[in-house]
Amino acid sequence: MAGVAIARALNMGLRKALEADSKVIIMGEDVGKLGGVFRVTDGLQKDFGEDRVMDTPLAESGIIGTAIGLAMRGYRPVCEIQFDGFVFPAYDQIVNQLAKLHYRSQGLVKMPVVVRIPFGGGIGAVEHHSESPEALFAHVAGLKVVACSNAADAYTMVQQAVASDDPVVFFEPKRRYWERAEFDANAPLADAVPLHAARVVRPGRDITVLTYGPMVKTALDAAKVAAEEGHELEVVDVRSLTPIDWDTICDSVRRTGRCVTVHEAQVFLGVGAELAARVTERCFYSLEAPVLRVGGYATPYPPSRMEEHFLPDLDRVLEAVDRSLAY
């Protein structure tokens, strides 16, 4: 199939999920006629009806809370949170209820709920529209947290998330929504890489770059430039933030002996902290340098005219790579 944008790939994946199981329901603000502010659910209400693609009242806790009830009744809700910054009114329902119900009921109550969140900055938006809150979910036991970085993954991962009997917080790289890639939409889902596997997206021998979501492209761009300078970066798309595929990651770091993590979220207690801590623990004798972390600064996300300096870019990645190589 010709190049498909990520937003469109998600749309196709959701359509497949709706077709595959009549219990799948899409719900959220403006997901119906409008098709979502990013058009990810475009056309789905028209084809599947208002009962299956449901505009909700403007209340995020209500969305997740009723999705939990629907899941208890046997449905598989896929909730859209309009922007990263607007998930917090639902945080209690996600953390205290959605994440815990399976455990609390000793496995009797399944929670096959997907919470889709477009995340990250770089689109020149006003405040609360550019946040990267993934660490605030990844720390919560009972949730699964994933981030897609390209159209092929978007298409399969969203279907895998809907098929999961566990709650999945599904981060979509907002600023890459319109980036295109080719993939085979007819490849059987069962053949796809598992949802929780990391993937080496560019092999290299000198240093491992761990990243996910919108920064995968940035890391790949950096790898190209580095290659010109003679440094081979191995870029790993972590993909799943809870659980993390340590085997793939540590295998890479043991080979390269160096590691840099990259995400948009604030470095302080970001996912990079866990990556750095555990990689160091597991690969201690292989590391030539400490794991270095690239990410947002310890301030709130700034006004958009400054965001390009807040967000890691190719140069910040390369700067960290250079520092690591200098050890």
Partner 1 sequence: MVAVSSMDVATSSEFVQLLTPEGQRLENPEYPLEITPEEVRALYRDLALVRRFDVEATALQRQGELGIWAQLLGQEAAQIGSGRALAPGDMVFPTYREHGVAWCRGIPPEKLLELFRGVNFGGWDPGRHNFSLYTIVIGAQTLHATGYAMGMQRDGAEDAVIVYFGDGASSEGDVNEAFIFAASYNAPVVFFLQNNQWAISVPEERQSRIPLFQRAHGFGFPGVRVDGNDVLACLAVTRKALQHAREGQGPFLIEAFTYRMGAHTTSDDPTRYRLASELETWKLRDPIERVKAYLSRGGFADSSFFDSVESEGDELAARVRAACLSMPEPKPIDIFDQPYAGGSPLVDEERATFEHYQAGFAEEGGR
Ligand X SMILES: Cc1ncc(C[n+]2csc(CCOP(=O)(O)OP(=O)(O)O)c2C)c(N)n1
Residues 6 or more apart in contact with residue 317 via CB below 8 angstroms: 209, 218, 219, 222, 260, 262, 294
Q: Is 231 a catalytic residue?
A: no
120: contact with a copy of itself by CB under 8 A: no
Q: Which of 20, 34, 58, 72 binds ligand X (CB under 6 A)?
A: 58
166: contact with partner 1 by CB under 8 A: yes
Say which entry of partner 1, ligand X, a copy of itself, none residue 70 contacts (CB below 5 to 8 A, set by partner kind). Answer: partner 1
DSSP for 3-52 reads -EEHHHHHHHHHHHHHHH-TTEEEEETT-STT--TT-TTTTHHHHH-TTT
Q: Which of 55, 179, 251, 274 binds a copy of itself (CB under 8 A)?
A: 274
Q: Which of 242, 248, 252, 256 binds a copy of itself (CB under 8 A)?
A: 242
In the complex, the smallest distance separating the C-beta of residue 183 from a copy of itself, rounded to whole angstroms, is 31
Tokens for 218?
Answer: 């940035």
Distance CA 216, CA 6 (A): 14
Distance CA 92, CA 60 (A): 10
Share in percent of the chain as helix, strand, coil (round to 5)? 40, 20, 40
Q: Which of 199, 202, 246, 273 binds partner 1 (CB under 8 A)?
A: 246
Q: Which of 15, 144, 175, 293 binds partner 1 (CB under 8 A)?
A: 144
Tokens for 230?
Answer: 């003679």
| Selected catalytic residue, list 129, 196, 231, 263 | 129
In the complex, the smallest distance separating the C-beta of residue 309 from a copy of itself, rounded to whole angstroms, is 15
Say which entry of a copy of itself, ligand X, partner 1, none residue 273 contacts (CB below 5 to 8 A, set by partner kind). Answer: a copy of itself
29: contact with ligand X by CB under 6 A: yes
Say which entry of ligand X, partner 1, a copy of itself, none residue 107 contacts (CB below 5 to 8 A, set by partner kind). Answer: partner 1
In the complex, the smallest distance separating the C-beta of residue 19 from ligand X, rounded to whole angstroms, is 28
Q: By the 8 A CB rule, do 259 and 279 touch?
A: yes
Q: Which of 8, 15, 16, 93 binds partner 1 (CB under 8 A)?
A: 93
Q: Which of 1, 37, 95, 123 binds a copy of itself (CB under 8 A)?
A: 95
Which three-class secondary structure state does DSSP give residue 164? coil
- Whole-angstrom CA distances from 126 to 83, 129, 131, 303, 307 are 11, 6, 11, 7, 11
Whether omega for the bond prior to residue 167 falls within 30 degrees of 0, making it cis, is no
121: contact with a copy of itself by CB under 8 A: no
Tokens for 161?
Answer: 């998330």
Which of 20, 46, 18, 23 shows the shortest CA–CA distance to 33? 46
- CA end-to-end span of the chain: 45
Contact letters for ligand X, residues 71-100 (x by CB under 6 A)? -----------x---x--x-----------
Of the ranges 1-9, 99-107, 203-211, 251-259, which one interacts with partner 1 (CB under 8 A)?
99-107
Distance CA 146, CA 243 (A): 9
Size of the site for ligand X (CB under 6 A): 6
**Sites of contact with a copy of itself (CB under 8 A):** 61, 85, 88-89, 91-92, 95-96, 99-100, 103-104, 127-128, 135-136, 138-142, 242-243, 265-266, 268-274, 276-278, 280-281, 284, 289-293, 297-300, 327
Active site residues: 129
**Sites of contact with ligand X (CB under 6 A):** 29, 58, 60, 82, 86, 89
